[in-house]
Amino acid sequence: MPRPPCPRCQDLAPAVHHRTVIVNGLEVFYREAGASPSPTLVLLHGFPASSHMFRHLIPALADRYHVIAPDHIGFGRSAMPSPEDFPYTFEALTEDTAGLLQHLGIDRYALYVQDYGAPIGWRLALQYPDRITAIITQNGNAYEEGFVKPFWDGVFAYATAPGPRLPGPAAGGPGRRRRDLRPRRRHGIQPGSAQRRDPSAGVGHFALESHLDTIAEHIRTFLTGALA
């Protein structure tokens, strides 16, 4: 686990702002740090997390980059409309992410995608290739085969027909709300990486909790070369 910074270090660390804007009629929460003239890095979180997963990474990068980390619709502090009021597809989530970036006046950015955020990032890259300066992926899927069937079959069934019962392992876990699972639609992805592999690459889904310093340094090194 990363150690909390010392009080003096906290005073020197870049401020991380928590903000909310309206995009396509919905509240979108995002974290922002760093000066806007600096190169922008957009962090797209995975399932079942939120931008909270980047709480330590953002200040670790904000001295050199303008960092934006939104909560997807249905996650964290962003709006959580019912499936009847919002089409929980990756296309719709991509549209809202693009709307947020447009609202902020960001038209050039690198992407860091993790798990559920990856298919959103891929769609942004396909729709706006000239805007993407670099892509970093952590456990980012691209195909339906990337979903482990014993877990995700129940989630897909629930996404198709929401109800009080959710079969299989996906139903487990203390504090897991049914609404948290609704954004999972039938748009799948398979593990892959756009970077060279590193010994720390096998740490998995929660790598930022155990390998923050290593990952932050790799990101800084990679972006220094990619954005040169």
Q: Are 114 and 41 in contact (CB under 8 A)?
A: no
> Can you give the pLDDT at residue 209?
87
More confident residue, 135 or 36: 135
Tokens of 121: 């990032």
Please give the average per-residue pLDDT across 149-169, as a whole number: 63
* Distance (Å, whole) CA 187 – CA 155: 12
Q: Are 219 and 136 in contact (CB under 8 A)?
A: yes
> Can you give the pLDDT at residue 155?
67
> Can you give the pLDDT at residue 114?
92
User: What pLDDT digit, counting tens, does each position of 140-149 carry?
Assistant: 877 665 556 6
Question: Residue 47: what residue type?
Answer: F
Q: Are 127 and 120 in contact (CB under 8 A)?
A: no
Pairing relationship of beta strands 26-33 and 16-23 according to DSSP bridges:
antiparallel
> Can you give the pLDDT at residue 165?
57
> Can you give the pLDDT at residue 143?
65
Question: Residue 72: what residue type?
Answer: H
User: What pLDDT digit, counting tens, does each position of 75-103 carry?
Assistant: 999 999 999 999 998 999 999 999 999 99
